[in-house]
A and B are shown apart, each in its own frame.
Chain A
């Protein structure tokens, strides 16, 4: 069965510093997709970045980058130049696909707090 593990329940980072949020995954499927979502205190889930299993390069979206290490089955999110508004819950997720389903498997999340 597919599984996502986020081992950091909480992280602190100073404003303008970079921070890495860990995510490891387990799957036997050769084709999969990995996502990161941000959940601010307002509650909505905001899509941040996507990495496909066959993508040769690490995904980047502005200040977000995904450190994809396929052999280690890790997909860590790197946030550069942290801002106070980055304080939120962050969820790593993997897309599970089969002939009759298309759903996301989530980790337990990491709460990031950015301080001045």
Chain B
């Protein structure tokens, strides 16, 4: 079974440009999460999809970030326009039914975004 896959693994863009990150969750996982780790700091929650619906987007930094999950399968996270402080590693995770007792999230390898 394929794990959570993220594309690209690395991205270097200039300030003001647009970047789109993609996440393919594990097949059958309704829950999809985006997290971000800025250098040296903790990993922070960005948002949570249940199928195609945004369940919680309280962690999104500002309106330059737009996440979508059309059809409840893969998700994209667009940053437009990118700023220097957006640099970091963006993780995607997925998990099964949220009503199970233990719902460990399975993470992808992350996308390292560098804004110069």
**A residues adjacent to B (C-beta < 8 A):** 4, 33, 35, 37, 42-47, 50, 52, 91, 93, 95, 100-109
With CB as the reference atom, state the residue of chain B lying closest to A4.
B42
Please, which residue of chain A has its CB at the minimum distance from the CB of B57?
A101
Residue of B with least CB distance to A35: B104
CB distance from B8 to the nearest CB of A (A): 12
Q: How far is the CA of A109 from the CA of B112 in the complex (A)?
A: 17
Partner of A102, one of B3, B31, B44, B101: B31
Q: How far is the CA of A33 from the CA of B104 in the complex (A)?
A: 10
Cross-chain contact A100 with B106 (CB below 8 angstroms): no
A10→B45 CA distance, assembly (Å)? 24
Q: 10 interchain pairs (CB within 8 A)?
A: A44-B108, A44-B110, A47-B105, A50-B102, A100-B55, A100-B56, A104-B43, A105-B45, A106-B44, A107-B42
Which residues of B line the A interface, CB within 8 A?
Answer: 3, 9, 31, 33, 35, 40-45, 48, 55-56, 58-59, 89, 91, 93, 98, 101-110, 112
**Cβ of B75 to closest chain A Cβ, rounded Å:** 15
**Bound Cα distance from A71 to B96, whole angstroms:** 31
CB <8 Å contact, B101 and A52: yes
Q: How far is the CA of A105 from the CA of B105 in the complex (A)?
A: 12
Question: Is there an interface contact between B98 and A102, defined as CB atoms closer than 8 Å?
Answer: yes
**Other A-B pairs beyond A50-B102, A102-B98, A109-B43, 19, CB < 8 Å:** A37-B107, A43-B112, A44-B3, A44-B107, A45-B91, A47-B104, A47-B105, A100-B55, A100-B56, A101-B58, A102-B48, A102-B103, A103-B33, A103-B48, A103-B56, A103-B59, A104-B105, A106-B43, A108-B41
Residues of A within 8 Å of B44, CB to CB, are: 106
Q: Please tell me if the beta carbons of B42 and A109 are within 8 angstroms of each other in the complex.
A: yes
Max chain B C-beta neighbours (<10 A), residue from A37, A91, A102, A106:
A102
Please indicate the chain B residues that have their CB under 8 angstroms from the CB of A95 in the complex: 103
User: Which residue on A lies nearest to B43, using beta carbons?
Assistant: A106
A103-B35 Cα distance, complex, nearest whole Å: 10
Contact, CB under 8 Å: A45 / B107: yes
Contact of B55 among A37, A44, A46, A102 (CB under 8 A): A102
Our pick among B33, B56, B109 for the contact of A44 (Cβ within 8 Å) is: B109
